[in-house]
């Protein structure tokens, strides 16, 4: 099983007239969320399976964890074809294993400071993309009838929730689009949901979603009457000074804002002044 160009795991399965045995070769230590492997260190270890059993055509391998009071690691192997296995482990998305001839596949070496990313193909929903584009296009008109847009927003949120509930959204792009739809909601929970969806989008390989994750955090805080902490939200009212208040500017530093693709305090003030100079109303992004 590879992450990037490096083999992380290897399963060896042998069969003779009496029994089937298996072993799991892996780094001694690693951290993973199922997609990213990091902090890989230590020598290669080979752990023999404590049990091998066939269940409905699949093979279940059980590996006892030597750490005290630890649960065993259980792999369920499903044969895709003559050279590929799909392996289910914990609650992670299935791992794809490719057959290799003995002695031909090198496992490791690993760089402890590197994160190895397992490529997972996820389809993007054409319907979710269309919903997002409609959401954005409604906000580009010169004159906007917000009563009509609000009604359309509600229909888009309802349909997006149906797609989420049916597990139809898979890719980082899908969750990025869904976050934009929910951030235009009327309720604080809509904004909070948008923040959660944006976080998933980042985790599934959509770096651009870092900004919407930041913006929805600030918008949620404002919606529940708390100060924003990153500075993404500006309040524009005709004839009134443009403001970011309430705003807790000291909770995080500009270095944290930079990591989240948010301008620093000085740049935010310049943006506030620019908005003040042309303040004639506001459109939601």
**DSSP-assigned letters across all residues of 237-260:** -TTS--B--SB-TTSS-HHHHHHT
Mean residue pLDDT of the chain comes to: 92
pLDDT digits (tens, 9 = 90+) for 13-69: 998 888 889 999 999 999 998 889 999 998 999 999 999 999 889 999 999 988 888
Phi then psi for residue 170, to 5 deg, are -130, -40
Query: How far, in Å, CA of 243 to CA of 275, rounded?
Result: 10
Which portions of the chain are predicted below pLDDT 50?
281-285
Query: How far, in Å, CA of 93 to CA of 4, rounded?
Result: 16
- Res 104: pLDDT: 72
- Res 282: pLDDT: 45
Q: Are 175 and 167 a contacting pair, CB within 8 Å? A: no
- Res 67: pLDDT: 83
Q: How many CA atoms lie within 13 A of 217 on its CB side?
A: 17
Give whole-number Cα distances, 116 to 26, 30, 35, 128, 239, in Å. 14, 11, 8, 29, 53
Can you list the pairs that 130-136 forms with residues at least 24 positions away whose Cβ atoms lie under 8 Å? 131/156, 131/159, 131/160, 131/177, 131/181, 132/177, 132/178, 132/180, 132/181, 135/180, 135/181, 135/184, 136/180
Q: Where in 103-250 does DSSP place strands (E)? A: 116-117
């Amino acid at each position: 099983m590879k992450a990037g160009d490096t083999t992380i795991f290897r399963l060896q399965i042998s069969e003779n007239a009496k029994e089937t045995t298996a072993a799991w070769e892996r780094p001694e230590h690693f951290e993973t969320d199922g997609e990213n492997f990091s902090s890989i260190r230590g020598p290669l270890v080979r752990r023999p399976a404590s049990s091998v059993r066939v269940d409905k055509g699949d093979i279940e391998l059980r590996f006892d964890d030597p750490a005290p009071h630890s649960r065993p690691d259980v792999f369920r192997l499903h044969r895709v074809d003559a050279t590929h296995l799909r392996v289910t482990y914990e609650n992670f998305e299935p791992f794809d294993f490719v057959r290799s001839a003995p002695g031909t596949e090198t496992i490791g070496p690993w760089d402890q400071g590197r994160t190895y990313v397992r490529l997972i193909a996820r389809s993007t929903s054409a319907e979710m993309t269309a919903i997002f584009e409609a959401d954005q296009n409604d906000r580009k008109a010169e004159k906007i009838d917000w009563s009509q847009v609000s009604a359309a927003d509600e229909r888009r949120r309802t349909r997006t929730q149906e797609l989420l509930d049916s597990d139809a959204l898979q890719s980082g792009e899908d969750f990025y689009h869904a976050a934009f739809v929910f951030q235009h909601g009327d309720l604080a929970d809509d904004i909070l949901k948008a923040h959660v969806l944006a976080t998933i989008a980042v985790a599934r390989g959509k770096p651009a979603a870092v900004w919407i994750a930041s913006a929805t955090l600030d918008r949620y805080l404002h919606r529940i009457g708390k100060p924003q902490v990153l500075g993404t939200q500006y309040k524009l009212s005709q004839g009134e000074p443009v403001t970011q208040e309430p705003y807790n500017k000291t909770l995080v530093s500009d270095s944290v804002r930079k990591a989240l693709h948010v301008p620093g305090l000085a740049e935010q003030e310049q943006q506030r002044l620019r908005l003040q100079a042309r303040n004639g109303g506001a459109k939601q992004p």
